[in-house]
Amino acid sequence: MSLRPFLVAAAILAGIAAAVPASELQAQTQPPPARPGNANLRPVPDGPGTRSAELQGLDKVTARTQRFYAPVGQATRFGTLEIKVDDCLVNVPEAPPESVAYLTIIDHKPGQAEEKLFAGWMFASTPSLSALDHGVYDVRVLSCTMAQGSTPPSSR
């Protein structure tokens, strides 16, 4: 049995800032960690529009999904969640398609103190690798792109 798949997985995970419990996140005030250890990842090529992450949110109570764009460096709302995209990367054209975004997700429940739920890299191709664990909402990365104008969220 070859150890190569396990070593590759360990190398990938070593470069990923995985989800951390909220109690540990509140003590951290550092900038986002270094980019994942993959030489093929790079920012979205320049073009018209704003560098953004295309995200999909699921409200588990209503069973509605919503696709929306979150500009890099700005906060975006989904339900009671505030989602900030600190970085969004894509693979070079020669490599298999991949989009990776560093997200910070804070829950602003009415009448309660804000709670940091997630801070880490999310991969579009493997959303379960580093996922938001929340009772009401799921958020996943679909792609990194140059978003054109201010497109309103679309329900599906």
- The structure tokens 């020669």 sit at 94
Reported as a single tens digit per residue, the pLDDT across 75-128 is 999 999 999 999 999 988 888 888 999 999 999 999 999 999 999 999 999 888
pLDDT band at 7 (very low <50, low <70, confident <90, very high): very low
Q: Residues 11-63: pLDDT tens digits?
A: 444 444 343 444 444 444 445 555 666 777 778 777 788 899 999 999 999 99
- pTM over 0.85, yes/no: no
Contact 124, 98 (CB under 8 A): yes
pLDDT > 90: percent of the chain = 46
Q: Please state, in angstroms and rounded to a whole number, the distance separating the CA atoms of residues 25 and 28.
A: 5
pLDDT above 70 covers what percent of the chain?
71
CA nearest neighbour of 52 among 34, 35, 68: 68
CA distances from 107 to 4, 17, 73, 78, 117 (A): 39, 20, 18, 10, 7
So where are the chain's domains?
Answer: 4-30+38-155
| Over residues 137-150, mean pLDDT | 86
